[in-house]
């Protein structure tokens, strides 16, 4: 090695070790990378106890994850290009202007979690945009096998109400959903990756007669069951017949959105959907990756401070491969990816069962 190269290496080593690490000691001796992160440990303690009922992956965790989307997706490049206000993305406007935005048809039901979250944001003096993304990340970290989402702080608390009609509806055609998502910066693959979220989800309002009906058999586990079960041939409505935005599901007690039905089978997205089934770690990584972008729609992430260390490490889960619900076989799968065969999965033993609703809390 030449003297020059050695010298370059030596200075590199010095600059690496000498780089000052901005560290801060926060409450209970917890260490943060930046003093701006300390208050988030206090927010964490408060919401784990008082919003998520003791770190549960229950209704509030699910609703908080949904809210990250309904705030962020209020962002339209095409409207901005036409000289109109296209929304500010993940800016907290859904909370600041809840009297406007929660009345949008696609936001039905989000008023509940907005009202539950707002007092925490005000008490801890954090911006609504930061709080919504933080609560979603903490909530989903409570789900076994879940993602550990990035959390950045520093979103302005100043926003304007989002225009209506930017949040996708379950009754929208796939074309419409894909073009809406593209207008907010998300490809078809990104959209499929975002829909992994529906593995920890239930509905209250598409069929209001059966609140808490989950989209899969394991709504508190961040597993691939939702992706598998959505591909089963539909046979029944869990409630009182068909509703706008609903498709036949395959198991008593589970609910299938029309949009999930279509996207799981559409030639443009079916292979992405199927590809997520076989490897839990890959599925989680893809969700983590696309969520870094959802959480910063309308922001330059380089202007925000990374406080990801505050987000809890989710409980590890060794789910093994996803299974087919008892009473079904691989023949009941609507395999929709032409390029590769559906993976061979085992069926749970015994007769068909009914899935319990997510209890209200």
Ligand X SMILES: *[C@@H]1O[C@H](CO)[C@@H](O)[C@H](O)[C@H]1NC(C)=O
Side-chain half-sphere of 326: how many Cα atoms within 13 Å? Answer: 9
Do the bridges between strand 152-153 and strand 213-214 make them parallel or antiparallel, or are there none, so unpaired? Answer: unpaired
Q: In whole angstroms, what is the distance from residue 214 CA to residue 256 CA?
A: 9
For residue 342 the two structure tokens come to: 């559906």
- Asked if 70 is an active-site residue, the reply is yes
Q: How far is the CB of 139 from ligand HEM (least distance, A)?
A: 9
- Catalytic residue from among 62, 70, 198, 299: 70
For residue 20 the two structure tokens come to: 């000052």
57's contact among ligand X, ligand HEM, none, with CB below 5 to 8 A by partner kind, is: none
**Which CB, 37 or 194, lies closer to ligand HEM?**
194
Q: Determine which residue in the list 27, 50, 209, 242 makes contact with ligand X, applying CB under 6 A.
A: 209
Q: In whole angstroms, what is the distance from residue 124 CA to residue 87 CA?
A: 25
**Which CB, 11 or 242, lies closer to ligand X?**
242
Q: In whole angstroms, what is the distance from residue 276 CA to residue 272 CA?
A: 7
Q: Determine which residue in the list 47, 96, 166, 257 makes contact with ligand HEM, applying CB under 6 A.
A: 257
Q: Quick one: which of 276, 282, 210, 211 has its CA closest to 241?
A: 210
**Which CB, 49 or 240, lies closer to ligand X?**
240
Of residues 321 through 340, those in contact with ligand X by CB under 6 A are: none
Q: In whole angstroms, what is the distance from residue 301 CA to residue 237 CA?
A: 43
Q: How far is the CB of 330 from ligand HEM (least distance, A)?
A: 27
Binding string, 154-183, against ligand X, x = CB under 6 A?
---x--------------------------
Q: Quick one: which of 107, 152, 96, 135 has its CA closest to 299?
A: 152
Instruction: Give yes or no for residue 289 binding ligand X (CB under 6 A).
Output: no
204's contact among ligand HEM, ligand X, none, with CB below 5 to 8 A by partner kind, is: ligand HEM
Give the 3-state secondary structure of residue 149. coil
Q: Find all residues with CB under 8 Å of 70, minimum gap 6, and list them.
A: 94, 101, 106, 107, 110, 167
Q: How far is the CB of 96 from ligand X (least distance, A)?
A: 4
**Which CB, 43 or 276, lies closer to ligand X?**
43
Of residues 183 through 202, those in contact with ligand HEM by CB under 6 A are: 191, 194-195, 197-198, 200-202
> Contact 257/243 with Cβ under 8 angstroms?
no
> Contact 47/118 with Cβ under 8 angstroms?
no
Residues in a beta bridge with 214: 202
Instruction: Give yes or no for residue 31 binding ligand X (CB under 6 A).
Output: no
Q: Determine which residue in the list 47, 96, 106, 200 makes contact with ligand X, applying CB under 6 A.
A: 96
Instruction: Give yes or no for residue 40 binding ligand X (CB under 6 A).
Output: no
State the burial class of residue 254 (Cβ atoms within 10 Å of its Cβ: 0-12, 13-18, 19+). buried
**Which CB, 198 or 299, lies closer to ligand HEM?**
198
122's contact among ligand X, ligand HEM, none, with CB below 5 to 8 A by partner kind, is: ligand X
Q: In whole angstroms, what is the distance from residue 321 CA to residue 222 CA?
A: 13
Instruction: Give yes or no for residue 128 binding ligand X (CB under 6 A).
Output: yes
**Residue 93: left (phi > 0), alpha (psi -120 to 50), or beta?**
alpha
Q: Determine which residue in the list 13, 24, 31, 122 makes contact with ligand X, applying CB under 6 A.
A: 122
Q: What is the contact surface with ligand X in residues (CB under 6 A)?
A: 96, 122, 125-128, 157, 209, 240
Give the catalytic positions in this structure: 70
Q: Which residues bind ligand HEM (CB under 6 A)?
A: 59, 62-63, 65-66, 68-69, 109, 168-170, 177, 191, 194-195, 197-198, 200-206, 245, 257, 259
């Amino acid at each position: 090695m030449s003297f020059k190269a050695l010298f370059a290496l030596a200075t590199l080593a010095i600059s690496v070790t000498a780089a000052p690490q901005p560290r801060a000691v926060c409450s209970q001796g917890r260490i943060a990378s930046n003093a701006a992160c300390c208050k988030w440990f206090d927010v964490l303690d408060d919401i784990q106890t008082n919003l998520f009922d003791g770190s549960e992956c229950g209704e509030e965790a699910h609703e908080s994850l949904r809210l990250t989307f309904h705030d962020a997706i209020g962002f339209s490049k095409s409207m901005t290009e036409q000289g109109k206000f296209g929304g500010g993305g993940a800016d907290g406007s859904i909370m600041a202007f809840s009297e406007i935005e929660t009345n949008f048809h696609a936001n039905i039901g989000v008023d509940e979690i907005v009202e539950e979250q707002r007092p925490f944001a005000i008490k801890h003096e954090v911006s609504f945009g930061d709080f919504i993304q933080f609560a979603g990340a903490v909530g989903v970290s409570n789900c076994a096998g879940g993602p550990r989402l990035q959390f950045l702080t520093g979103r302005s608390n100043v926003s304007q109400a989002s225009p209506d009609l930017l949040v996708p509806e379950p009754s929208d055609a796939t074309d419409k959903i894909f073009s809406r998502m593209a207008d907010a910066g998300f490809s078809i693959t990104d959209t499929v990756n975002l829909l992994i979220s529906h593995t920890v989800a239930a509905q209250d309002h598409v069929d209001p007669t059966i609140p808490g009906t989950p989209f899969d058999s394991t709504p508190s586990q961040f597993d691939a069951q939702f992706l598998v079960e959505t591909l089963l041939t539909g046979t029944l409505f869990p409630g009182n017949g068909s509703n706008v935005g609903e498709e036949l599901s395959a198991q008593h007690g589970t609910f299938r959105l029309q949009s999930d039905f279509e996207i799981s089978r559409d030639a443009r997205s079916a292979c992405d959907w199927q590809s997520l089934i076989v490897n839990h770690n890959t599925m989680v990584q893809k969700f983590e990756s696309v969520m870094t972008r959802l959480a910063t729609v309308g922001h330059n992430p380089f202007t925000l401070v990374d406080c990801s260390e505050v987000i809890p490490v989710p409980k590890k889960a060794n789910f093994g491969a996803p299974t087919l619900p008892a009473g079904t076989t691989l023949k009941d799968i609507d395999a929709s990816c032409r390029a590769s065969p559906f993976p061979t999965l085992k069926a749970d033993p015994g007769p068909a069962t009914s899935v319990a609703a997510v209890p209200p809390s």
